[in-house]
Amino acid sequence: MTKKEALKKCTIAVTGDFGKEKTYEKIKHWIEFQGGSMATKVEVKVTHLVCSHEHFKKNVTMVKQAKKIKTCKIVSYDWLEDSLMNFTPKRPGPYLLKSVIKERAKAKAKKKETRAENITKGVKNFEKGCDEFKTMMLTDGYHIYRDPNTGLGYDITLARVDLTTNTNERYTLKVPHPILAPLYPYHPPAPHNLRVPLPRPRTQSVQLYETHAAPFRYAVFVQYSSPTRGTAKQVLAPLGSSFELAMSSWEHFFRVKCKREWSERNGILEESESDEGRWVYKGGEEEKAAGEVVETVEPGW
C-alpha cells in the first residue's frame, strides 16, 4: 500500500476545534491525500469520528449519531495525527475518547488526592517543627509573647487560598532544623526599612518571643516554605530586641503582607474571584470569638 492509499478504507468525520493550524480544510486535504474520504455528517459508512474533548463532553449531534453506529469509532485528534504520520490507520483502542477522558479524570483525581495527602503531611511536619523551635526558644529563655489585654499569642500563619477548591488551606511544610539567619547581621535597620524576601512561599509563620524574666527582651522570626527553595527562617528583630523594635517589626511585616494595619486585623474582608491564589491570615483561637479574621496578601511574597 502506498502513502496515498494509507487511509483508503477510512471514511472520517470531524467535529470540534483543534486549533488554528488544524482547520477543517487542512484536515480534509490531509485525509484525502492519503486516500481517505471526508464525511460532512455521520452515517453508517463513517468509520471514525475525530472529535474534540469539548464536543464529546457536550454530546453534540455528531457524537450522538456516532454512538448509534457500532462500526464508528469516536477517537481523539491524536488518532488522526498518528495515522497520518505513520501512513497507516492506528488501532482505535488507545484513542477512544470515552477511555481517554476517563483515564484523564482518574489521573486528575489521583493527583488531587496525592496533593491533599502531601498537604496534610506537610501541615503535621511543619507544626512539629514549630513546636521543636518553640521548645528550643523556651530553653534559651524565651516564650511566645501574649498581649496582656487580649491574651492573644503572637504566633500566626499566613497561607495561600487553595486554587482547586477556592477554600483557605494552610499550606505548611516541615522546618526540621531552623537556621536563624539575620537579614541584617550587623546593624538592624529602622522598622520602616524591614523587608523579607519570600520567593513564592506556601506558608509564612510569624512569631514574637519574650524573655521569661525581666528585664524583658524580645525577638521576631518569620519562617516560610517555598516550592522551589524548601524551608527557611529569617529574623525580623534579633534576640535581645526592645519591645518597641519587635512590635514595630511585627506591625510593619503585617502591613506589607496584608495591606492593612495590625490594629485593623479584626475587619472582615469579603473574598472575591480576585482573591484566588492570594495569601490569607485567619485569627487565632483568642480572636475567633469576635468573628473570623481574614486578610489577603498579594501572591509571590
C-alpha cell at 81: 495525527
pLDDT at 3: 73
Q: How, if at all, do strands 37-39 and 11-15 pair?
A: parallel
pLDDT at 93: 93
Distance between CA 170 and CA 223 in Å, rounded? 14
For the chain (301 residues), the mean pLDDT of every run of 10, in chain order, is 81 94 93 93 95 94 94 95 93 93 91 82 73 86 92 81 39 28 35 40 81 94 66 85 95 83 66 45 46 35 34
Distance between CA 141 and CA 41 in Å, rounded? 81
pLDDT at 11: 96
pLDDT at 266: 67
pLDDT at 159: 65
Distance between CA 203 and CA 97 in Å, rounded? 40
pTM of the model as a whole: 0.49
C-alpha cell at 25: 480544510
pLDDT at 83: 94
Q: What are phi and psi of 11, to 5 degrees?
A: -115, 115
pLDDT at 12: 96
pLDDT at 201: 53
pLDDT at 166: 38
C-alpha cell at 68: 448509534
